[in-house]
Amino acid sequence: MNVSFDGGRTFRTDVVTRIPCDYHALWINPANSNHMILGSDGGVHTSYDRGKNWETIDNLPIGQFYEIGYDLRKPYYIYGGLQDNWSWKGPSATRHERGIMNADWIRVGGGDGFYNQVDPKNQNILYVESQNGYLSRKNLFTDESKSIKPEPEDDTETYCF
């Protein structure tokens, strides 16, 4: 994040630190410009000193999956990928009196999580996609994972005219 203290003549990049990058939204309090709220890939953060120090608001039950998959168990499990925050699986229902908790979610893939699809013939096999076309097959029972990223048969380049 670039910050200017002189009306935009110069900018500094060392003011906003210690919070995840990929900033998406910034609100500056019109009544007090020292107070800001920032939305990033790492969640929601607030500052009361123009961004020198940030507090992460980590009790918000939010997330945005690119796509979701599910299995056919009862209750069924939901699988989804989050930008910069891996792929996850979690139950659709629980008997816990407080409902579905963060601890109920299990990481099943890395990087930028995208598509997650359970094999319809074997509920222990999950296909997990990540950025740059990375695809893996994960055995949910043994936790074993194998890359199955498609590769060209040879490395010759093909040109279209």
How is residue 30 written in tokens? 């019109």
Summarised one tens digit per residue, pLDDT across range 79-122 is 999 877 899 999 999 998 999 988 999 999 988 888 999 999 99
Summarised one tens digit per residue, pLDDT across range 14-59 is 888 788 778 889 999 999 999 999 988 778 999 999 888 999 998 8
The pLDDT value recorded for residue 63 is: 74
Summarised one tens digit per residue, pLDDT across range 117-137 is 999 999 999 999 998 889 999
List of residues 6+ apart from 31 with CB closer than 8 A:
none
Over residues 59-78, mean pLDDT:
87
Question: Position of tokens 């629980």?
Answer: 94
List of residues 6+ apart from 97 with CB closer than 8 A:
none
Q: CA-CA distance, 82 to 132, in Å (whole number)?
A: 15
List of residues 6+ apart from 16 with CB closer than 8 A:
1, 3, 38, 51, 54
Question: Position of tokens 């008997």?
Answer: 95
Helix H segments across 78-153?
none
11: amino acid identity, one letter: F
**Residue 161 confidence (pLDDT) above 50:** no
Q: What is the pTM of this model?
A: 0.66
User: Residue 155 — very low, low, confident or very high, per pLDDT cuts 50/70/90?
Assistant: low
| DSSP assigned state of 159 | -
How is residue 86 written in tokens? 């891996």
The pLDDT value recorded for residue 157 is: 57
